[in-house]
Structure 1
Amino acid sequence: MSRSIHVLSLVLFVLIVVAAIVVLSYYGFTYYHLNIEERFYHSDHQLLRPSGVLGHGLGIIGSLLIITGVFLYMVRKRIARFSRIGVLKYWLEFHIFLCSLGPVLILFHTAFKFGGIVSISFWSMVAVVISGIIGRFIYIQIPRTIEGRELSLLEVRDTKTDVGELLKKEYNLNEESHQIIVASVAGNSNNTSGLLLFRLIKKMNHDRKTYKKIDSELKRNKLSGTERKKIKRLVINEIVLNRKIDRLNYMQKLFKYWHVAHLPFALVMLVILLIHVAVTIIFGYKWIF
């Protein structure tokens, strides 16, 4: 999949979710903002109530979207025979799309009124969505291959460029500037102490000072504008890679802890969802069939 098609698909996913929220909110606003007692007298009550044609349909479609999103992603990720079907990160993005649209439809299915055991499933669903957003942030921080396979620390380090040797071969830098630039981009990947946010702020501040120092050193050497741009690009790539190495172990550990929170909520949501569906069928609630 080309980058333009990938970006277009992501934009389309977002637009579909936003469109669903806007259309359903606009169409049912006069109904959803009423108290439960007043809704009975609304002209669209038979349509929008949880057991109504539209309300019930939203619940069915939303549930199917969630189950489909979970099932397809788990099959692609866990079963070896399906491991070569598509790129894993694309499957993850499709999983996120289905498991974002599904809860939106279920929210409107409840007509914003829920209680009892169903409320446990709903809030578990909310916890799954929120933890999924957090998990997505953690996921993209871990370097991966184009197929989506997580890279080891050794594999990431193997992608590093020997900046010192490259600068010595291709650019006419004086020895002092050469040593300063090499030392500046060496990084400090052993610093794993402190909270992630403070570490990131500290690292960004350090990198900003590094850019200024290197820019100052390049101006001292008689290099063309094109050469300076190439060196700056090389330095930026090296610093970005140093950032990835610095947070790799931290993010891998954090991702394992994230599963501890995400999976139980997902299981609770699915189990109660199935119970809710079974009870609905037993008590004879039907949709359009």
Structure 2
Amino acid sequence: MSAVPDRRDAALPNAPRSSPALGDGLLYAALALLVLLAWAISRRGYFKAGDDVGYWLGVAGGLMMLTLFTYPLRKHFRFMHRLGKVKWWLVAHMVLGIAGPLLILVHSTFHIGSLNAGVALWSMVIVALSGVVGRFIYMRVNRGLHGEQTTLRELQVRAGLDQSETRSRLHFAPAVEARLLAFEERELKAPPRWSTYLRQVLVLRWQRWHAYRQCLSELHRAIDRVAHKRQWDATERARRERQARKLVDRYLANVVRVAQFTAYERVFALWHVAHVPFVYLLILSAAFHVFAVHAY
């Protein structure tokens, strides 16, 4: 086996081809723009919450939010399992979860007219923001919109972390290999507690970047030694170092992916526990608000 990674040594599975960070950034930017647009419309004075236009905007937003409950019902009632694919139900759930609260915000003209309306409005805001957080976590626990749960074992196989082949490709740089082994040992065998999960969700990618930067300097020195010994020219040396860097980067990325799977799964369970009470509060306050509007 070659002491330095060559083109034929690309058996280590790739890191995820597309990072969800870009999609998340675009989504959050779009949400911010929509909220600003809703605020701008409410400032124009085209309607008030109590007139016909404001009333029907509230009705439309309320119906959209009521329709959101068809998604969890679809998962719990067997007769609904045949009604379309889960991914389309999830897409509809996300769209309605954005459009409904936006219409309610426009309906309210960003003003709170009563205590009950305030409770309903803030419950809706919390539920909507919680839904955005839930979507962020869900997309990291599941594969896209297909609802197929990724198992830790599958990720390990795809990353090649259950084989020693990757490490042997880096035996020309023992310091790099030791650092990678230490990183894997620390993250994949970390104590199963909440401090570990929160650290892996919040700062593990930064720690991975720090480990990668440390590996680069050590890798550079190791490549220099091999290049001098084998009398490589500058082009060959640069090519070999580029391949070795890519190998280290993919290895670290896949360790992070495997470690974060369990962390996001635990955080998602905690999110669900926190999300449900606010949903119930929203239902009760919204129902009382509707009753008060029509009764008085």
Q: TM-score, normalised by structure 1?
A: 0.70
Please report how far the alpha carbon of residue 217 of structure 1 lies from its aligned counterpart in structure 2 after TM superposition.
Answer: 2.9
Q: Does 1:246 align with 2:259?
A: yes
- Provide the rounded CA distance (Å) in 2 between the counterparts of 1:258 and 1:12: 20
Pairing 1:119-158 to 2, within 5 Å after superposition = 119-142=118-141, 144=143, 147-158=146-157
Contact preservation (8 Å) 2:101, 2:124: yes
Q: 1:53 to 1:15 in 2, by over 3 A?
A: farther
**Any gaps of 5 or more consecutive residues in structure 2?**
1-17, 228-235
* Contact 2:65 2:97 (C-alpha < 8 Å) held by counterparts: yes
Q: How many residues align?
A: 254
Q: Does 1:212 align with 2:217?
A: yes
Structure 2 equivalent of residue 38 of structure 1: none
Q: In structure 1, which of residues 97, 107, 110 is the aligned counterpart of residue 108 of structure 2?
A: 110
Q: What corresponds to 1:40 in structure 2?
A: none
Q: Is 2:146 the partner of 1:176?
A: no
Shift of 1:59: 0.6
CA distance in 2, matches of 1:235, 1:249: 23
Q: Which whole-Å deviations, capped at 9, do the CAs of 1:34-73 have from their partners, x for residues lacking one? A: xxxxxxxxxx5xxx221212211221121122222x2343
Q: Structure 1's 27 and 60: CA in aligned 2 closer, same or farther, altered over 3 A? A: same
Partner Cα separation in structure 1 for residue 85 and residue 268 of structure 2: 23
Question: Could you tell me how far apart the structure 1 residues matched to 2:120 and 2:265 are?
Answer: 29
**Structure 1 CA distance, aligned partners of 2:129 and 2:164?**
44
TM-score by length of 2: 0.68
Counterpart for residue 165 of structure 2: 165
- 1:160 and 1:241 in contact (8 A); partners too: yes
User: For 1:263 and 1:161, how far apart are their aligned partners in 2?
Assistant: 38
Q: Is the 8 A contact 1:87 1:148 kept in 2?
A: yes
* Identity of matched residues, %: 23
Partner AA of 1:110 in structure 2: S
Q: Distance in 1 between matches of 2:204 and 2:28?
A: 33
In the alignment, is the contact (CA less than 8 A) between 1:17 and 1:100 conserved in 2? no
- Seen in structure 2, the aligned counterparts of structure 1 residues 198 and 145 have a Cα distance that, compared at 3 Å, is closer
> Relative contact order: is structure 1 or structure 2 higher (C-alpha 8 Å, sep ≥ 6)?
2
2:64 and 2:252 mapped to 1: Cα distance? Answer: 41
Unaligned runs of 5+ in 1: 32-43, 284-289
1:83-94 → structure 2 map (5 Å cutoff): 85-86=84-85, 88=87, 91-94=89-92
| Native 8 Å contact 2:112 2:118 kept in 1 | no
**CA RMSD across the alignment:** 3.7
Residue in 1 aligned with 2:11? none
